[in-house]
Structure 1
């Protein structure tokens, strides 16, 4: 998956277990997205796709929860003070287009929309 992302997107940062890259969204906006390799307790492997919405102390988190309730993919979390929209997919038998690319683009589009509505910025 890392090689797939490297050949298609502007990678901003990476290590052995995750990478962060940027996607263009509507107009002149862009959105960061991270993909983390997450092993589970049973030995299976998952990819966690996350995209920032804004600094948690600068947005209305209740409104974010309400907005996230209407999306097909993703859930909301706060990590290191950043509110994120996240989605996790199993790696086993992963179809890149349907099981990674499609949900990733949905997460990124919604996170960018939430960032625009809640923060009024394009910081992430």
Structure 2
């Protein structure tokens, strides 16, 4: 993968795209569960970011819940203990997990592995701290 266009095409082929803009794809990651009634999903946003007006990066992010509805110190402490491939931020009103990678010379596993880790961690944190599966 060396361009946003290449990565976006890969994402369209491999994931369930639920919305698309020029520089952003929203996908739905499904998790296999033993109980069909407890099916869980996680929305993940894959977006093009331009660093220093010349370097293409991809940002992978997933919303967890509203920032004003949670103990942020507890969430950040848990992320510090349970995640190695993403950081937390507040974007708009939401706490999100996110990870960014340069597109130049990107190996697809450098994208898919963090995406899966981010989605799984996001789903777990959402359940623990927000008590549901809204995103």
Larger radius of gyration: 2
Distance in structure 2 (CA, Å) of the matches to 1:26 and 1:78: 28
Consecutive unaligned residues in structure 2, runs of 5 or more: 1-6, 34-38
Is this contact kept in 2: 1:25–1:112, CA < 8 A? no
Indicate the RMSD between aligned Cα atoms, in angstroms: 1.1
Which structure: greater helix fraction? 2
Q: 1:75 maps to what in 2?
A: 87
TM-score by length of 1: 0.94
Moved over 4 A (4+): none
Aligned match of 1:16: 22
1:25 CA displacement: 2.0
Query: 2:3 — aligned with what?
Result: none
Counterparts in 2 of 1:57-72, with a 5 A limit?
A: 57-70=68-81, 71-72=83-84
Aligned residue number for residue 98 of structure 2: 86
**Could you state the TM-score of these two structures normalised by the residue count of structure 2?**
0.87
| 2:46 counterpart of 1:35 | yes
> What do residues 49-94 of structure 1 show as CA deviations (whole Å, max 9, x unaligned)?
0011111111221111111112111111111201100000110111
Gaps of 5+ in 1: none
